[in-house]
Every structure is written in C-alpha cells, then in structure tokens.
Structure 1
Amino acid sequence: MDQRSGNSVGRRLFHRLMGWETGWWNDLKEGGRMSDMFSKKSLAVGVDIGGTHIKLGLINEQGEVIDHYSVNLLRDETKIADIALISQEVANFIEKRNVRNQLAGVGVACPGILDTTLGVVKFAVNLGWNELPLVEMMQERLKLPVRLECDATAGAIGEWRYGAGMDQSGFLYVCLGTGVGASLVVDHHIYHGDLGPAINIGHTSVIPDGKPCKCGNRGCLEKYVSASAITDRVRMELDTANTILSKWVQSRALDSLLVYEAAQQGDLYSKEVFQEAGELLGVSLVNCLQLFGVGNIIIGGGFSQSGDLLLEATRKTVRARFPSDDVMKVNIKQASFPTTAGMLGAAANIFQ
C-alpha cells in the first residue's frame, strides 16, 4: 500500500469514526437507526422550550450538567415563537463551547400536541405553532441529530432517571410553569396513548364555563394554576384587592414571583391566591388518582417552587376528596429538579 492509499484509508477510517463518511444527515434521511448514531458520542444538548424562556444544557449520560443557561423565548413580529431564532441560539450555544465533535445530538422538550415519531409539533397553544416540522428544521440548521419529546414527558424522564422518581416503577409527573403539563410512568414505561405520551391535565376543565382558553376549552386548569394564571388573576383584581402588591407594582413588574414574595411577607390576599390555586390543583389530582390509580405524584416546573404555599392546600384537598382507605397511599412531593428536569430528560432521550 502506497502512502497516498494509506492516507486515503486513514481518512475514511477517521471519517467513519466521526460519523462523516456518509454523514449522519444522509443516514437519517435514508432511514438509519438514530440509536446507532447517538451511541458514538458522549455529550448531548438538552433544550427545554417554555412559554417564556428556553433552557439549554450540555449534559453527559450520567445526567451531569457540564454547562447551561436560560434565555428569553424568541418570538417573531407576530408574537409566534421563532424556530429559526431558537435554532440559531442552540447553534451559538454549541459553537461557543466547541463541543460539536463530542455531541450525540440535541434533545428538545416542547409543550403542546406532538408527533414525536415524525418530529412535528401539531399544536402548541402557548407558542403559536401548528404543524411545525421542528425536527426537520432544527436538523437542517444544526447538522446534528435532533429528537423531539413532550416537555412534561421529558420532565418525567429527567426525574425518573436522575431525580425524585429514580426508585419508583410508576408515578404521575406534573409540570407547573407558564402552563400545566403531565406525564405518566407505569411499570417502568412512559404511558403512550393514541395522541401521544402527555397527560394534558392543563387543558382539562376544573371550573365549568370558566375562563376561555386558547385551546378552545373553558375553565382549563392552567388558566387557574400556573405562573401566568397567578399573574393574570392579580392583575385583574389589583385595583380592588387589599394587598401590599398595590404599592410594590409601582416600582416592580408584576409576576408570580412578586405575588409569592408578598405571600411570604404575610400578605393575606396573596396567600389566598396561592391557596385557591392549590385547591384546584388538588381537585385535578384527585381526578388523576381516580383515573390512573398511581399514588406517587411528583410536582415539578418553576411554579412548583412556591412549595407548601401552594401544595399544602393541594394535599389537604386530596385528603378531603379521595377515599380514606386509599389516601394514605398517596405521596405528593416536589421534584428534585423543578426547573431543569425537562432539559435533563430531553438530553437523556438522546442516549436511549
């Protein structure tokens, strides 16, 4: 073998090891196994797309977060979440850390109704997306494998593999953020229905003929129990409510964190807002307990960090409404990773 042939073989071997010889992109378009491609690299990027923020993390298979940051959700001039700008943000995250050659792929957690097999967001009310081919668009921009998962399911996977659900064969994971999502683990498997894996309790009615929701329903849980719901309620009632918030909003922006801080200061109105939200969450959880029979419930998402201010009323409502013979089997606890489980689960999906 002459030197030129040797160099050629060497290059092909190196390219094959790096996944470059035919390219993962062509393999993917030709129906190649994604798991084969993912297994060659040691890191993944987890992307959690929320209603107001995007979380990005560089994560290894053991769930260790090497680096991460959060950025405001990028929307276009029509207020629709801009997938091109989101993809560019992910590309910048990768290039600034110079880890492209170590990446198995990019896992994306997204709210809404998804076709994870085709990589399409069918409908995401808080993002303004309909029939969006997210995986195709992000792969075209990133030139890396991308895997899509429902945000609540990604959160459940994150807690299941690394957090509060590690030792459990089954549990209900509820994510409280801008909206409300849920996912169910049964006998060590994520529950998948005909419409996908998510348990969309955020869009189940807790108040008949209640507030209209963008999904087309009325009285949806997430219109009363979410960070955005708390903010919206206080904003509507602020002129007539007896609360310290009337003074605070003169110098600070009104959001759920401000309401939480007021409640922690003993503001009775703010405490009542959280209590009533907790009660409605309890009503919804009792419905889930009756439907699914899973007694372990993990509450995650940024809004869950309000802790007992919200969950004390939730537990009290469950005890009052669920049959006494079974209520002692119910365990409602906070997530180990309230704000990053979706990001962790999205990355973990790459290594499965």
Structure 2
Amino acid sequence: MLSETYFMPDKLKLAFIGCGAIARFHLDGIKEHAPRIDVTTLVDLDESKAQTYAAETGGQAFTSLDEALAKGDFDAVDIMLPHDLHEPIALQCFAAGKHVLLEKPMAPTLDACDRILAAANAAPGVFMVAENSQYWPEIVEAQKHLAAGAIGEIITARAAFVYPFDSYWFKEERPWRYEKGRTGGGIAIDGGSHWIRPLRMWMGEIKEVVGVLGHPLAQMEGESLARALFRFDSGKTAIFDAMMIDTVFAPDPWWRITGTKGELTINAALDGAELYLWDADHPDGKRLFASPGYTESFGPELADFAAAVLDGKAPDAPPEHALGELRTALALYRSATSQRWEQVWA
C-alpha cells in the first residue's frame, strides 16, 4: 500500500523480472501506451534473453534478482515468471522497498496469496496484479454498452477460451506451463483467468462452479480442456469453455452476452477483435467497435501501474480482486473431482 509520504518521481524506472514470452507484449505495450515508464533493468537466468532486451531498452542486464537489487537502478518490478516463483520473488521485492506488478495468477495457492498480500500491505509501495483482460479495449467497450442498456438486462453469457496449440508459449526445452507443480493446474488457472475476469466485470461475483476437465494435450500435466457452468451471486449463470488442443477450430466468438433485448458478441484473436450488437434493429449484427486485439491491453495495464506509482491513483482493480479468478479455477478443480457444485468463496 502506497504511503502518503512515499516519494513520487516523474518517471517510473522499471525492472523486468523474467524476459520470456510475455515480456515482448509488456515492452511493446510500454512503447505504445506508457511513456512514463523507462525499462532500466532486465533480469533473466538466461543471460542472452536479458541482454536482448537490454540492447533494445538501453537497460542493464542481470542473471539474478540479488545482483539486480544490489546494482540496478529501478523503483519497481514487473514480475513475469512461472507461477511457483511469484511468492518468493514478490516477497523479496517488497522487502527491498520496490513497487510490484505481478503477473496473474497472484500465486498457485490461496495460502501463498495470503502471504503475498500481507507482505504488500506491510510494504510502502504499490502492489498490483497484472490481469490484462481488465484493459482489453473490446472488453471495456462492451462494458460501456452493457451499462447503457444496449441489450437490456443480462440473462446469461458464454466465455470461450478456445485456442489452438501455439508453440510461442512453449519454447523452453521443458516448458514450465506443462508442469502442474509449477502452474498450479492447467489452462483454467493460467490463460483461463483472462476469460473469467470479463464475466465478473459484466455479471458480478461468481458464487459457485460445476464442471469437468480433460487432457487432450498429452504433454501438459494440467488440464488442457475445461467446461464449466458458473452461477453468480445474482443467480444468473454463464458458460466457461477452455480448450488448448493441437487441432483446427471453427470460428467461434470468444464472448457472447445475452440480454432481454439482444446480444453482444466479441470475435477476437491475438491480432484483432470486433464487438457486435445483435438486436431487433440489427438482426444481422452491427459492428460497434474494432481493435487490434489482445496485445492492445498491455499498454493500458502498464500505464495504470505507472499512474498508481507516480500519481497515487488506485489501480482499476485492487490486488485482492485477482483472488476471484484463482478461486474460480480452484473451485472448478474441486468440482471435477467431487462432480458437484463447489463454492468459490468458501
């Protein structure tokens, strides 16, 4: 939590802790949308990765956090590491007095999250969990139209994380995302959070979950298929589909929100997204919004973090809010075993 006396500079000096696949999107987002951030320090066990980003940013490269904390020039960290490393690295950065941006999930277990939050509350700086779907332009735009009553009262929704296998995310000799002990599960706890957050933005808090899991991607220890029904505090329900399979998928909206006056759909991919309205006046659909897609969210996310540090602005979502996606995934895992509804906040 940022104290009133904490020094606020004009520019945020940021260290990348982890220079893997997601770092590319974070840096591009900073270049395009977060001019008040300077990436001054790059840390990765693979020196070549750190050096590559150092050459691009003009920052210093290190192969350990200890060395970076001793010699680097930075005020904040952007932690982009396997889930099992989130807790120890975040705690070390809090202890060093750094502002912390931590990739989702906060940690693989609720106990680890509790320890992280306790350390964050005792530290002087800003703590934010990076859930970029909070900033997806098409998600934010849909929120505006829903609030304006474009489809009347929401009845139900569907989120479809249907994604063919992409080797970009699995480049390591033994990709950490294949290891359940490192991720805490499979696609529901990892990429699935990007589809769960918008449902919570639109429909409120998820109360309980029932679902099943599958393992069609044999090399992944955690689930590569999840099909679930969410019931919200309001009593309304939504479908959550998550699949990462080495196959060819037919076109399918990533989101469908059904209301009393029509529907909103979001047709999206990594390279583009479109928001459509379907109602009595537009039975064939009307395009309301188009964006470059998924990658456009990282810049606003980093800019929000910078504003929290530099201006004292509260982030769009407090770090505790990120427990919702984790708890939903964990409830789904319990349901797959119990074969019954499981409470999210129990």
- Judge same fold: TM > 0.5, yes or no: no
The structure in which a higher percent of residues are helix is: 1
Give the TM-score of the pair, scaled to structure 2.
0.39
